[in-house]
Structure 1
Amino acid sequence: MSTTTEHTSDSEGPAGQPPRPARLIQNEATTEIPVHLLFRDDPDPAPVPLRPAVVGRRQGTGEQPRLRGPGSAGVRQQPHVDPELVERPARVLPGAAGVLAGAGGIAGCLATSWWAGVLPPLASHALHLPAYAGAGVGPAQWAAYAGAGALGLLGLGGLTRGRTGRAWVLGLFGRYGGTVRRTGLLWVNPLTRRHRVDVRLRHWRSETMPAADGNGVALRVVVLVVWRVRDTARASLGVDDHERYLRECVEVALARVPVETPDGARAFVAATGEALTRLVAADAAAVGLEVFSVQPVRVEYAPEVAAVMQRRRIAVLDAQQRSRMLTSVVDSVEDTVTRLTMRGLVDLDDYERKSLVRELTVAFAVGREHAP
Structure 2
Amino acid sequence: MIGTDTTGSIPVHLLFRDEPESADRVADDGPATVSMAGPVVGAATTTPTLAPLKAVIPAPARPAAPSRPAPTADPQLVERPAAVLPGWIGVVGGLLAIAACAAVVWWAGAVPESVAHMLRLPPRPYHGIHLGQWALLALGVLAILFFFGGLGRGRVGYAWVLTLFGDYRGTVRRTGLLWVSPLLLRRRVDVRLRHWRSEPLSAVDAKGTALQVVVLVVWRIRDTVRAALGVEGHEEYLREQVEAAMARVLSQLPADAFHEDAPTLRDAEAVGEALTRMLSAECAPVGIDVFSAQPTRIEYAPEIAAVMRRRRIAAIDAKHRDSVLTAVVDAVDDVVHRLTTRGLVELDDYERKSLVKDLTVAFYTGRSGPGEGA
Does the TM-score normalized on the shorter chain lie above 0.5?
Answer: yes
Q: Tell me which residue corresponds to 1:272.
A: 271
Q: Tell me which residue corresponds to 2:320.
A: 321
Per the TM alignment, residue 81 of structure 1 is displaced from its structure 2 partner at its CA by: 2.2
Q: Tell me which residue corresponds to 2:57.
A: none
- Provide Cα deviations, 1:66-110, integer angstroms capped at 9, x if missing partner: xxxxxxxx8633324221111111111100110011111111121
Equivalences for residues 283-302 of structure 1 within 5 A = 283-302=282-301
CA–CA distance in structure 1, aligned partners of residues 247 and 229 of structure 2: 27
| SS in structure 2 of the partner of residue 82 of structure 1 | coil
2:81 and 2:170 in contact (8 A); partners too: yes
**AA in 2 matched with 1:272:** V
| SS in structure 1 of the partner of residue 122 of structure 2 | coil
Aligned-residue RMSD, C-alpha: 2.7
- Unaligned 5+ segments in structure 2 are 1-21, 33-51, 53-65, 258-262
CA–CA distance in structure 2, aligned partners of residues 331 and 120 of structure 1: 115
| SS in structure 1 of the partner of residue 276 of structure 2 | helix
- Name the stretch that deviates more: 108-117 or 267-276: 267-276
CA–CA distance in structure 2, aligned partners of residues 262 and 147 of structure 1: 76
2:250 and 2:265 in contact (8 A); partners too: no
Per the TM alignment, residue 251 of structure 1 is displaced from its structure 2 partner at its CA by: 1.3
- Provide Cα deviations, 1:287-328, integer angstroms capped at 9, x if missing partner: 111111111110001123223222221221111011111122
Distance 1:367 1:284, change over 3 A: same
Per the TM alignment, residue 182 of structure 1 is displaced from its structure 2 partner at its CA by: 0.4
Q: Tell me which residue corresponds to 1:310.
A: 309
Q: Tell me which residue corresponds to 1:212.
A: 204
Per the TM alignment, residue 340 of structure 1 is displaced from its structure 2 partner at its CA by: 4.1
**AA in 2 matched with 1:285:** A
Equivalences for residues 215-226 of structure 1 within 5 A = 215-226=207-218
**AA in 2 matched with 1:336:** V
CA–CA distance in structure 2, aligned partners of residues 95 and 108 of structure 1: 20
1:104 and 1:151 in contact (8 A); partners too: no
* Greater relative contact order, per chain length (Cα 8 Å cut-off, separation 6+): 2
Q: Tell me which residue corresponds to 1:165.
A: 157
Match of 1:86 among 59, 67, 78: 78
Equivalences for residues 322-341 of structure 1 within 5 A = 322-341=321-340
| SS in structure 2 of the partner of residue 296 of structure 1 | strand
- Provide Cα deviations, 1:244-294, integer angstroms capped at 9, x if missing partner: 000111111122112652787688432222221122111111111111111
1:93 and 1:188 in contact (8 A); partners too: yes
Per the TM alignment, residue 132 of structure 1 is displaced from its structure 2 partner at its CA by: 2.1
1:210 and 1:254 in contact (8 A); partners too: no
Per the TM alignment, residue 124 of structure 1 is displaced from its structure 2 partner at its CA by: 2.3
Distance 1:360 1:75, change over 3 A: closer
- Provide Cα deviations, 1:184-231, integer angstroms capped at 9, x if missing partner: 000001121111110011111111112222222121111111110011
Equivalences for residues 173-212 of structure 1 within 5 A = 173-212=165-204
Q: Tell me which residue corresponds to 1:23.
A: none
Q: Tell me which residue corresponds to 1:244.
A: 236
Distance 1:335 1:126, change over 3 A: farther
Q: What is the number of residues matched between the two proteins?
A: 309
Distance 1:152 1:319, change over 3 A: same
Q: Tell me which residue corresponds to 2:136.
A: 144
Q: Tell me which residue corresponds to 2:12.
A: none
Q: Tell me which residue corresponds to 1:116.
A: 108
CA–CA distance in structure 1, aligned partners of residues 214 and 67 of structure 2: 29
- Name the stretch that deviates more: 106-115 or 305-314: 305-314
Match of 2:123 among 127, 131, 136: 131
Q: Tell me which residue corresponds to 1:357.
A: 356
| SS in structure 2 of the partner of residue 214 of structure 1 | coil
- Name the stretch that deviates more: 118-127 or 176-185: 118-127
Per the TM alignment, residue 334 of structure 1 is displaced from its structure 2 partner at its CA by: 3.0
